[in-house]
A and B are shown apart, each in its own frame.
Chain A
Amino acid sequence: MTATPVRGAAAPPPVPRDAVIELRAVSHWYGNVVAVNDVSFALRPGITGLLGPNGAGKSTLLHLIAGFLRPSAGTVDAFGEPTWRHPELYRRVGIVQEREAVYRSLSGREFVRLNARLHGLDDADAATTRAIARVDLAAAADRPTGTYSKGMKQRIKIAAATVHDPEVLLLDEPFSGADPRQRLQMMEMLREMGAEGRTILFSSHILEEMERLGERVLVIVTGRLAASGDFRAIRRLMTDRPHSFAIQSSNNRAFAQALLAEPAVRGVELVDGRLVVRTDDFGRFTVAAPRVARDAAITISELYPLDESLESVFEYLVAR
């Protein structure tokens, strides 16, 4: 699969035949604030990452898919039926909220069993034991959840959300608060669940989490779907974009002149006493800059990227 930058007016991407979740021209607004703007995509079994900066609309999208919000426009379907006002769908869907909320007075086992019983499972105890074992929390299962660490709460929430063996699992920032070992463990668990043929959608604003887990990625920026497709292709789009660097050197004018001769450099400006260099090739520039400085006998005292925030990366994808 390749990465597809999505333009606002473009036709929605074709729906895969095995699509489990489908959003068509979905928008959602809170008063005058547009949280999700004309988003269309389809999800099929496997793991899909929902990537975007904070406030991009990831949680709103997940809530729309979970049936926790009514689409202001468009349709959100799971298994061919609208998710809004359709509680029966929760037999096939599990949801892990971002909030740390659990019933604090219940033990982990009681909490998961409660969820099993609310699902009306025939053998709630067996399902509880399986779900707790899956998240590797058996040793702490009889402690009140109020005493759990953030990472443990995440895991018990995942156990509760998967106790009924759902075909679809929606997770909002599932790795926040987990330590690196727990993170890897959870990723492995989700990978296994994805390999079992479940449809898993998780949100994150951390590229590395996508890199490790997201087979397919949806990039959301300011409520719009900025790109979708294979993570590696999207990653390439992100690193191949133009970059800007600020440089302070012993002779800015001479350094500017020397840099302009480099093929990796697209432009140089002198702004507020420092050089601002634009390049299309991040890798080649970072190799060339010290070499050029050395050849011209110039000392670099500062060199830093100006637009490395995730937001600027996403903005670039939207502008493409």
Chain B
Amino acid sequence: MTVLIVSLTLRQLLGQRRTWLLVLLALAPVLLAVTFRFTTDGTRDAREFVADGVMRNVMVNLVLALAALIFGTAALGQEFEDGTAPYLFAKPLARWRIALAKVLAAWLGTAGVVGVSVIATGLIALAGGPMDLIIPAFVVAMALGALAYASLFVCLSVLFDRALIIGLIYVFIWEALITNLAPGAAYLSVRAYTIGIARALADTPASTFSAQLSGPASFAALALVVVLTSAYATYRLGSLELARRV
């Protein structure tokens, strides 16, 4: 049953025009890598360019966050908006199953778009030089980050009609601004967890890119976010007055 809802949701998500805009956005790092390959004079370390310039600043900060925001808020939110939610909710289905399926669909959509971009970008820019586990480190970190974002944004869509706007504020005000001004805020930032995990997994010098949080702290916080937001989304779905949302 979960697989059925996941595949239905993925079909809906991939049919949206904004998904294709996301795919275009995910192509931007690949284009950056291609440009780097053809224009570099060898003075800049490719590892630093990829890890810090592209993966950290473009992929994690922008592509991952936006993809997860769009897929996460639409996975369930779109059902409310389109009025199709009763087809799921007027069924003898446990609410945790619906929440789980929506998180999985948002996660798979996000990880799919971001994953391909990460691998292509890394392979193009790092080809012929030391790779220092940068590609697998960011693939794993972004897959985990995508899961945390997906569960967070699905939860927001259960709680609020305007989950997309609230998510945008979280990504571009809290994560991009506040965590830089108040480093402690990084403990509440999926972006910081993702970079922390990538930093812990990559076998590259500390100078190539830095993280605000350690690997273990990032992983623990990320796991906590996934569990808490999924559980809370399930709990709230159980008492959701559907007629107020469709």
Task: Find chain A residues with CB under 8 A from B94 CB.
Answer: 87
CA of A297 to CA of B87 in the docked complex: distance in angstroms?
66
In the bound complex, do residue B83 and residue A119 qualify as a contact, i.e. CB atoms below 8 Å apart?
no
Closest chain A residue to B242, Cβ basis: A68
Q: Hey, what's the 0/1 contact readout for B180-201 against A, CB within 8 Å counting as 1?
A: 0000000000000000000000
- Interface size of A by Cβ–Cβ distance < 8 Å? 31
For A197, list chain B residues within 8 Å (CB).
none
Question: Taking A97-B246, A102-B84, A103-B12 as contacts, is the C-beta distance between A69 and B91 under 8 angstroms?
Answer: no
Q: Restricting to A73-122, which residues have a CB under 8 Å from any CB of B?
A: 85, 87-91, 93, 95, 97, 99-103, 105, 114-115, 117-120
Given contact pairs A87-B93, A97-B246, A103-B8, A118 touches B241 in the complex (Cβ within 8 A): no
Residue B90 at the chain A interface, CB threshold 8 Å:
yes
Interface: B44 (CB within 8 A): no
A67 cross-chain contacts in B, Cβ below 8 A:
90
Q: Is A99 within 8 A of B83, CB to CB?
A: yes
Q: Pick the residue among A89, A93, A160 that contacts B87 (CB under 8 A).
A: A160
* B216 CB within 8 Å of chain A: no
Chain A residues within 8 Å of B206, by CB: none
Number of A-B contacts (CB under 8 A): 75
A95 to B87 CA separation, bound complex (whole angstroms):
9
Is the Cβ of A68 less than 8 Å from the Cβ of B241? yes
Let me know if B241 and A119 touch, CB within 8 A. Answer: no
Interface flag for B243 (CB, 8 Å): yes
Cβ-neighbour of B238 out of A68, A85, A101, A120 (below 8 A) = A85
Q: Is the CB of B243 within 8 A of A105?
A: no
Q: Are A88 and B244 in contact (CB under 8 A)?
A: no
Give min CB distance, A106 to chain B, whole Å.
8
**B residues whose Cβ falls under 8 Å from a Cβ of A:** 1, 4-5, 8, 11-12, 15, 82-84, 86-95, 238-239, 241-244, 246
Chain A residues proximal to chain B, CB less than 8 Å: 30, 59-60, 63, 66-70, 85, 87-91, 93, 95, 97, 99-103, 105, 114-115, 117-120, 160
User: Contacts A69-B244, A70-B241 given; 15 further ones with Cβ under 8 A?
Assistant: A59-B243, A68-B89, A68-B242, A68-B243, A87-B92, A90-B90, A90-B91, A90-B92, A95-B90, A99-B83, A100-B83, A101-B84, A103-B87, A114-B4, A115-B91
Q: List 5 A-B contacts (CB under 8 A).
A: A69-B241, A85-B239, A87-B93, A97-B86, A115-B91
